[in-house]
Amino acid sequence: MKLFGMSGSGNCYKPQLLMSQLGMDFEWVELDLRAGASRTADFLAMNPNGKVPLLEIEPGTTLPESNAILWYLAEGTPFLPEDRLERARVLQWMFFEQYSHEPNIATVRFWIAFLGNPESHQQKIAECRPRGYAALDVMEGELARRSYFAGDRYSIADIALYAYTHVAHEGGFELDRYPAINDWLQRVREQPGHVPMATGDRA
């Protein structure tokens, strides 16, 4: 399989991490989104929504959306529980991640650490900051009661939330105030086959 992604992107890191932990062979195809690589005619033919990551399952069959890719790859593996309610909990946290977490935490990191001109995004950062902390508060509350987000064991829900939480400090979020999150980050890092996020040549 081919995984089209951009180094440093948490969304792209999710399938990179899972495929590594599943011991799968895959080819990473690096795209520079800032240079428009996801808006070319060739790429839009594969994903009309113009986003990475994109998984090429076989030539002509592609799957976008990081969390849909995680689900597809994890089916039938220990990374996705079998119980109906636990599976719904995995999705609960993956939708939480894409709606309440990523748009407030990943975006701020992008403006500050990637674009390097936080001044021009000051108003947006001010809007996202409290929402990002609200998402971290929800995570902290959950992790004070359980070790993992679904089914009492490491699953793709943890991978989805780890992706941008472990680099939230790059967007100026103070993780020191979240002991349960920090313990969980450590548990995730200690999982067999864990690999760090590809960071490429980001300046």
> Which residues contribute to the site for a copy of itself (CB under 8 A)?
48-49, 57, 61, 63-69, 71-72, 75, 84-85, 87-89, 91-92, 94-96, 98-100, 102-103, 137-138, 141-142
Instruction: Give the separation between CA 68 and CA 50, rounded to whole angstroms.
Output: 16
Cβ 71 to a copy of itself, closest distance in Å?
A: 5
List of residues 6+ apart from 191 with CB closer than 8 A: 21, 154
List of residues 6+ apart from 60 with CB closer than 8 A: none
Cβ 189 to a copy of itself, closest distance in Å?
A: 25
Phi and psi (nearest 5°) for 29? -110, 110
- Please, which residue, 101 or 166, has the CB nearer to a copy of itself? 101
List of residues 6+ apart from 78 with CB closer than 8 A: 153
Cβ 123 to a copy of itself, closest distance in Å?
A: 9
- Please, which residue, 137 or 194, has the CB nearer to a copy of itself? 137
- Please, which residue, 32 or 83, has the CB nearer to a copy of itself? 83
Consecutive H or E run containing 134: helix 122-143
Cβ 146 to a copy of itself, closest distance in Å?
A: 13
